[in-house]
Amino acid sequence: MAPKTRIPKVRTLHLPIIVLIMTSLFASTLAASVDEDFAALEEIADAFPPKISTKEEKAKALALYSRVKLQFDKDVKGHPGDKQILLKRARLESFGHNLDVKGAFEEAQRDFLALLKQDSNFEPAMLALARLWVNTNPQYAPQAEKLFRAVQCRHGNEPVEEAQRGLFFALYYQGRMLEAKRQIEFLTARWPDNEAYKRLREATSAVLARAGTQDKPAGGQAPAKDMLATCQ
């Protein structure tokens, strides 16, 4: 008689461990996927207008937004008081605003203000809120200007490019065109390889020319390369 083959029994004690491993792997995969979706949205909609040319691209971006927003809402609820998690959701909501998601502006503003209530010197929130304001409506430009200047103030005479660039738009949207022109001259002189600054300088000069405004610094004005916009 042939010997019986012994079939090893599965020890159920190990099943919870397997489940935990599988759950952990799934969670890691989900997190990576959400981060990838966030990065894709950042590339598409971190500025206005978003980089979208067809209805299909818009639909895909909105689907990504809904997916990531759902996860970030859970993350914020599960980690109250975590500034980085709340900042990420606020930035996502600003992307949603650029995608014309209803209520996204109000949600982003609420989250940014909550971050600044928690830490009034939290620069990422200061800059992101200022950008949200300046890109939304000229009525918010004065508030954006204050935040951009506050960030620069913290760095003394070392120019913070995002703050200096934001100041240009804040001045431009307030109709303070001569100040905006001097600001874009500074940006062009400080970062001469940035072609976008050159185009903005030309556009600002054209606006001044149409208005018949003298496109020259006031008497005794420092050269553009020395005109660092500061706290005041």
pLDDT, one tens digit per residue, over 212-228 is: 876 555 444 444 444 56
Using pLDDT thresholds of 50, 70 and 90, give the confidence band for residue 46.
Answer: very high
pLDDT of 86 over the 70 cut: yes
Q: How confident is the model at residue 218, as a pLDDT?
A: 46
Q: How confident is the model at residue 28, as a pLDDT?
A: 44
Examine the domain organization and report whether 116 and 151 are in the same domain: no
Q: How confident is the model at residue 167, as a pLDDT?
A: 97
Using the 3D structure, point to which of 91, 120, 149 is the last residue of a domain.
120
Is residue 107, in this structure, part of any structural domain at all? yes
Examine the domain organization and report whether 116 and 141 are in the same domain: no
Is residue 158, in this structure, part of any structural domain at all? yes
Examine the domain organization and report whether 109 and 145 are in the same domain: no
Examine the domain organization and report whether 160 and 113 are in the same domain: no
Is residue 63, in this structure, part of any structural domain at all? yes
Is residue 190, in this structure, part of any structural domain at all? yes
pLDDT of 8 over the 70 cut: no
Q: How far is CA 196 from CA 44, 146, 192, 204, in A?
A: 18, 24, 10, 12
pLDDT > 70 in the chain, percent: 78
Q: How confident is the model at residue 134, as a pLDDT?
A: 96
Examine the domain organization and report whether 96 and 142 are in the same domain: no
Using the 3D structure, point to which of 120, 150, 166 is the last residue of a domain.
120
pLDDT of 78 over the 50 cut: yes
Examine the domain organization and report whether 50 and 78 are in the same domain: yes
Using pLDDT thresholds of 50, 70 and 90, give the confidence band for residue 231.
Answer: low
Q: How confident is the model at residue 45, as a pLDDT?
A: 96
Using the 3D structure, point to which of 54, 89, 120 is the last residue of a domain.
120
Kindly report, residue by residue over 125-184, the tens digit of the pLDDT.
999 999 999 999 999 999 999 999 999 999 999 999 999 999 999 999 999 999 999 999
Examine the domain organization and report whether 225 and 145 are in the same domain: yes
Is residue 29, in this structure, part of any structural domain at all? no
Examine the domain organization and report whether 228 and 203 are in the same domain: yes
Examine the domain organization and report whether 95 and 179 are in the same domain: no
Examine the domain organization and report whether 156 and 113 are in the same domain: no
Contact between 92 and 112 (Cβ < 8 Å): no
**Other CB atoms within 10 A of residue 155 CB:** 13
The span from the CA of 124 to the CA of 88, in Å, is 10
Is residue 209, in this structure, part of any structural domain at all? yes
DSSP string, 60-125: HHHHHHHHHHHHHHHHHHHSTT-HHHHHHHHHHHHHHHHTT-TTHHHHHHHHHHHHHHH-TT-HHH
pLDDT of 232 over the 80 cut: no
Q: How many domains does the chain have?
A: 2
Angle at 218 between CA 212 and CA 222, to 5 degrees: 135
Query: Domain range holding 222?
Result: 137-232
Q: What is the CATH number of the domain that holds 219?
A: 1.25.40
Give yes or no for a cis peptide into 159 (omega within 30° of 0): no
